[in-house]
Chains A and B, each alone.
Chain A
Amino acid sequence: MDEKNSHSAFITVIGHDRVGIIAAVSTLLAEAGVNINDISQTILQENFTMIMSVDLSKATLDIKALADRLEAKGRELGLSILIQHADIFHAMHRI
């Protein structure tokens, strides 16, 4: 389980919708060498919610440094941006 997903993570963006959220986040990720596998977005309880599945295998930053940058970007845009290693979701949601 660990080996297979050791480079996958999920990024969750929650907050008020506005122009350019995807552009801002994906630019940051491109600069850090992070590949986006998939994006989905919905409006949940009036909140814009975007979930990105990403691959960190060619990333130039480790997940902690990436988390710091995403958080800073979130503050700039007035959004909550989280990155979490995929293992946590495996652990909780798969038997």
Chain B
Amino acid sequence: MAKGMFEDFEILETIRMFQEEHLDVRTITMGISLMDCAAGSADETCRRIYDKICSRAERLVAVGEDISREYGIPIINKRVSVTPISQVAASSRTTDYAVFARALERAADNVGVNFIGGFSALVHKGYTDSDRRLIASIPEALATTEKVCSSVNVATTRTGINMDAVREMGEVIVETARLTADRDALGCAKLVVFANAPEDNPFMAGAFTGSGEPECVINVGVSGPGVVMKALERCPEADFGELADTIKRSAFKITRVGQLVAREASRRLGATFGILDLSLAPTPAVGDSVARILEAMGLERAGAWGTTAALAMLNDAVKKGGTMATSSTGGLSGAFIPVSEDAAMAKAAADGALSIEKLEAMTAVCSLGLDMIVVPGDIPSNSLAGMIADVMAIGMINSKTTGARLIPAYGKKVGEWVKLGGLFGEAPVMAVSQAGNDAFLRRGGRIPAPLQSLTN
């Protein structure tokens, strides 16, 4: 036709997806290697960390805004992820690692990003001395900063689960909740315990830049639960084959948007084009919910029987459409089911339709773990550790990434709501098993790596 390339409906579809269906680029995350920032003192290390981030990410926010303007694509967050600080700080001869978190915070403030990830340690097989110092500093680091995110990898499929680290992370979460009790345990929303943590994840709170990554890299996370939901609402009678095709077509378009943004951003910033994360990431905004997709598929609420199957199909179809659209996939690439960040998920939990046990089952087939789940403030650290161990086991056995982001709401009981604010949303305190596990966790050591054949 005369316009050369496009039909009117295609142009209007794009505009509708951006303006009405919440399609957006959730994050452009610049990964920066800090390996050359290690120095013999904490002061010098902090100075190098600050200088390097400020110089590498100087134009990140401006470039993101330019791209957003030129293509009409909403780009919600610009972020930075760095080399795990336990590696960068190892030679600094200090025990208080919170100073490095505060250096990261100052750098984030300077370049104008809303989160910076990488106050992290990888201890799936064992601790270095530096890992121990970092983990011990997490509560203070998260209590004295706003933008710094922390993650600890405690398990992999190849090495098993470090149960000493699992037990310790239960204690770290309790202490973080205590130190941020005046903010509804907000510190815990910025702390992820991982199995099989990816080195190129653009999403917070679990983003860090792994040692296999280039000097400076752009990773992009796109999100479009609203687009998928609206597409499904347009075919209420479709069978599962048609449903999967509809999701795949939406995922293709969503991913192509991300690829365009990632390519442009990396070119303009002089950074390597890293990966696109094919995740459906909800936000508390109405219409931007994974739970609503499940409802559009025909489930009355998230948590109804059939939820696990629905999520498995959704996740698989998103990946199939996404891998057709780009060859640069990576990061987490799974369906996110963070309870507090998904208004319909939180409502289902409040009404008793959705339990933690169901969320654990959903994690086994498709998603990324027990994420943004609020538990009673008086939960014993070993109960948290046990929850972490269960989520790690699912990741380890299934060769997938799983994470636990658990929020003990200080002084709150089951059913009370906790408002975390902003993208973190709000959620009710969920009930947890009261049965003890102290003797189990006291054993310590490592759960051995699993067999990878005989997989039934």
Taking beta carbons and an 8 Å cutoff, which residues of A are in contact with B?
8, 10, 12, 14, 37-38, 40, 42, 44, 49, 51, 53, 63-64, 67, 82-95
Partner of B4, one of A38, A42, A67, A82: A38
Contacts of B12 in A (CB 8 A): 12, 44, 49, 51
Partner of B14, one of A53, A63, A89: A89
State the majority secondary structure of interface residues on A.
Answer: strand
Contacts of A94 in B (CB 8 A): 5
In the bound assembly, the distance between CA atoms of A86 and B5 in angstroms comes to: 9
User: Are B14 and A92 in contact (CB-based, < 8 A)?
Assistant: yes
How far apart are B70's CB and chain A's nearest CB, in angstroms? 5
User: Are B257 and A37 in contact (CB-based, < 8 A)?
Assistant: no
Interface centre among A37, A49, A85, A94 (most CB of B within 10 A): A85
Contacts of B72 in A (CB 8 A): 82-85, 88
Interface centre among B3, B66, B256 (most CB of A within 10 A): B3
The B1-22 residues at the A interface (CB cut-off 8 A) are 2-6, 8, 10-15
How far apart are A36's CB and chain B's nearest CB, in angstroms? 11
| Pairs of residues from A and B, 7 with the lowest C-beta to C-beta distance, nearest first | A84-B72, A91-B256, A53-B3, A91-B260, A88-B71, A38-B2, A92-B253
The answer to whether the Cβ of B196 comes within 8 Å of any Cβ in the partner chain is no
In the bound assembly, the distance between CA atoms of A42 and B12 in angstroms comes to: 12
The chain B residue sitting closest to A11, CB to CB, is B11
The answer to whether the Cβ of B59 comes within 8 Å of any Cβ in the partner chain is no
Total contacts A to B, CB within 8 angstroms? 77
The answer to whether the Cβ of B344 comes within 8 Å of any Cβ in the partner chain is no
The answer to whether the Cβ of B244 comes within 8 Å of any Cβ in the partner chain is no
User: Are B6 and A93 in contact (CB-based, < 8 A)?
Assistant: yes
User: Are B2 and A10 in contact (CB-based, < 8 A)?
Assistant: no
User: Are A53 and B4 in contact (CB-based, < 8 A)?
Assistant: yes
How far apart are A45's CB and chain B's nearest CB, in angstroms? 10
In the bound assembly, the distance between CA atoms of A64 and B253 in angstroms comes to: 24
20 A–B contacts, CB within 8 A, in A order: A12-B15, A40-B2, A40-B8, A44-B12, A51-B8, A51-B11, A53-B2, A53-B4, A64-B66, A82-B15, A83-B72, A87-B260, A88-B72, A88-B257, A90-B5, A91-B256, A91-B257, A92-B256, A93-B6, A94-B5
In the bound assembly, the distance between CA atoms of A44 and B5 in angstroms comes to: 21
Interface centre among A37, A88, A90 (most CB of B within 10 A): A88
The answer to whether the Cβ of B69 comes within 8 Å of any Cβ in the partner chain is yes
The answer to whether the Cβ of B73 comes within 8 Å of any Cβ in the partner chain is yes
Query: A91 with B15: in contact, given A10-B6, A67-B69 (CB under 8 Å)?
Result: no
User: Are B3 and A40 in contact (CB-based, < 8 A)?
Assistant: yes
In the bound assembly, the distance between CA atoms of A38 and B6 in angstroms comes to: 11
How far apart are B209's CB and chain A's nearest CB, in angstroms? 27
User: Are A42 and B73 in contact (CB-based, < 8 A)?
Assistant: no
How far apart are B272's CB and chain A's nearest CB, in angstroms? 18
User: Are B256 and A37 in contact (CB-based, < 8 A)?
Assistant: no
In the bound assembly, the distance between CA atoms of A17 and B72 in angstroms comes to: 23
In the bound assembly, the distance between CA atoms of A83 and B70 in angstroms comes to: 8
Contacts of A84 in B (CB 8 A): 14-15, 70-72
User: Are B70 and A93 in contact (CB-based, < 8 A)?
Assistant: no
User: Are A63 and B4 in contact (CB-based, < 8 A)?
Assistant: no
User: Are A64 and B69 in contact (CB-based, < 8 A)?
Assistant: yes
In the bound assembly, the distance between CA atoms of A44 and B8 in angstroms comes to: 11
Contacts of B69 in A (CB 8 A): 63-64, 67
In the bound assembly, the distance between CA atoms of A51 and B70 in angstroms comes to: 17
